[in-house]
Structure 1
Amino acid sequence: MGIGKFLTGVTLATGVGLAAYFTLTKQDPRTWAKHISQQAQTTVDQVDDIKVAKDRLADKAQALNTAVTAATPVIDDIQSEVEKFAFKVAPRVDIIEETVSRWDNL
């Protein structure tokens, strides 16, 4: 069996199947074709929307990465200043804790 006969058979079977489908469901082939076309266009639009959303997400992820990289030195500086403050305040905190402890023991 040649490829030509196979393609002819497939085409005829598809045509007969569609004709039977239209007859049984009482649909107009033009209306069905328009509906299929609209569904295809909707799917294409949704795929485009997904691509745009993916690109936006990639851009935002890159911007976040850049912001985190830029913020790292600032966070390190803040941590250093907190440690210096804690070192300077530690003796006063110790005195306050001793005073509160003495009050609790009275």
Structure 2
Amino acid sequence: MMGKFSKGILFGAVVGAASGLLFAPRSGKATRQKFVDELEDWSDLKEDFTDKLDQFKESAQALQAAADTYIEPFIDGINRDVETFKFQAEPRVEQIQEQVEKIQSELPDLPIEK
């Protein structure tokens, strides 16, 4: 099914191009020159696109290299900071838990006012 559709599109493009060339309001020489100019424009666009794509690839490679250089040490540094924080926080958390338990054990002994 798609093959018939593709053939139809190709046939329509060829017939349209031929009709455009045959029934163009310009002379054959002017039409050919316009066709050559259009091809040159498309060629220039292709070259520009290729250059921009190459620049993008280079930028992406540079970004990847920078990421490889900086991200791993950054993650390692954060992991060290987290471990240091845990090490410093654990005794404090234990002290707070002890205080909470002490308060809770003494709380039932307090008279409740109404």
1:79 equivalent in structure 2: 82
Q: Partner residue of 1:43?
A: 46
Unaligned runs of 5+ in 2: 1-16
| Amino acid paired to 2:85 | V
Give the residue type in structure 2 aligned to 1:69. Answer: E
Question: Counterpart in 2 of 1:89?
Answer: 92
Q: Which runs of 5+ in 1 are unaligned?
A: 1-17
1:16-70 deviation digits (Å, cap 9, x = unpaired)? xx88752234451101210111011101101110110011001101101110122
Partner of 1:24: 23
With structure 2 as the length reference, what TM-score do the two structures score?
0.60
Opposite residue 29 of structure 1, the aligned amino acid is R
Matches within 5 A, 1:8-23: 22-23=21-22
| CA distance, structure 1, for counterparts of residue 78 and residue 99 of structure 2 | 30
* CA RMSD in angstroms, aligned pairs only: 2.8
Higher relative contact order (CA 8 A, sep 6+): 2
Call closer, same or farther: CA 1:67–1:100 in 2, change over 3 Å.
Answer: farther
State the percentage of identical aligned residues. Answer: 11
TM-score by length of 1: 0.64
What SS class does the counterpart of residue 66 from structure 2 fall into? helix
Distance 2:58 2:100 in 1: 56
User: What one-letter code is carried by the residue in structure 2 that aligns with 1:57?
Assistant: A
